């Protein structure tokens, strides 16, 4: 299995990206029926944004620590931290999609000027970065999981990984700015 995946990383990246984006946009646009999932209590649904803010903050820490680890040559720690970051991202995404499927996207409760000139641009950049990150993350993860460490240096893992980690980190930070605008400031 590893050999087959190893030889088809770009194709598998494209497939996983298409499926992931279909799920995200399907949820956000209401194409996934609410009846497909059991409904949690209102308390659980209300807690999801707050849990996701903590998960996002933890992901910022693990991504930054993973980047520092590889800069210091600690491949093992880098790998563990990036896998942890990926796990945090998956947890965030599952919770986010669940809430959006059941309740739709959150409405901005603040003033129109803040909505137009702060919230929407921040949200747009956050979404754009998240969408761009998905194929980059799949690509670097598939390269890392299908090769021994000694062979990773012969791939584009380092180059693409730098871009992916930077954009991913910024996307998580902007996601928390969106959270503050939706649930703390207003």
The domain segmentation of the chain, as residue ranges, is: 2-184
pLDDT at site 4: 82
Both structure tokens of 125: 């950049």
Q: Is the pLDDT of residue 2 over 60?
A: no
Residue 140: HSE in the Cβ half-sphere, 13 Å Cα cutoff: 21
Cα–Cα distance measured from residue 60 to residue 63, given in angstroms and rounded to the nearest whole number: 5
Both structure tokens of 146: 């299908």
Q: What is the separation of C-alpha 71 from the centre of its chain, rounded to a whole number of angstroms?
A: 22
For 107-141, write each residue's pLDDT tens digit.
999 999 999 999 999 999 999 999 999 999 999 99
For 46-72, write each residue's pLDDT tens digit.
999 999 999 999 999 999 999 999 999
Q: Is the pLDDT of residue 1 over 80?
A: no
φ/ψ of residue 69, rounded to 5: -60, -45
Percentage of the chain surpassing pLDDT 90?
96
CB of 181 within 8 A of CB of 108? Answer: yes
Tell me the H-state helices in 72-179: 75-103, 112-114, 120-145, 149-152, 157-179
Confidence of residue 3 (pLDDT cuts 50, 70, 90): low
Over range 140-151, report the average pLDDT: 94
Looking at CATH, the fold of the domain delimited by 2-184 is given as 1.20.120
Over range 75-87, report the average pLDDT: 97
Residue 53: HSE in the Cβ half-sphere, 13 Å Cα cutoff: 13
Cα–Cα distance measured from residue 63 to residue 179, given in angstroms and rounded to the nearest whole number: 19
């Amino acid at each position: 299995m590893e050999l087959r995946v190893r030889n088809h990383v770009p194709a598998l990246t494209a497939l996983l990206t298409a499926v992931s984006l279909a799920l995200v946009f399907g949820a956000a646009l209401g194409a996934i029926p609410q009846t497909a999932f059991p409904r949690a209590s209102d308390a659980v649904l209300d807690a999801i944004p707050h849990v996701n803010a903590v998960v996002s903050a933890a992901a910022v820490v693990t991504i930054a620590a993973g980047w520092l680890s590889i800069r210091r040559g600690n491949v093992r720690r880098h790998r563990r931290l990036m896998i942890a970051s990926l796990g945090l991202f998956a947890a965030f995404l599952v919770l986010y999609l669940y809430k959006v499927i059941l309740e739709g996207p959150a409405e901005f409760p603040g003033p129109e000027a803040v909505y137009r000139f702060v919230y929407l641009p921040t949200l747009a950049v956050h979404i754009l970065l998240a969408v761009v990150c998905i194929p980059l993350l799949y690509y670097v993860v598939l390269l890392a999981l299908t090769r021994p460490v000694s062979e990773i240096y012969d791939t584009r893992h380092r180059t693409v990984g730098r871009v992916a980690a930077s954009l991913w980190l910024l996307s998580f930070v902007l996601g928390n700015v969106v959270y503050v605008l939706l649930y703390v400031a207003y």
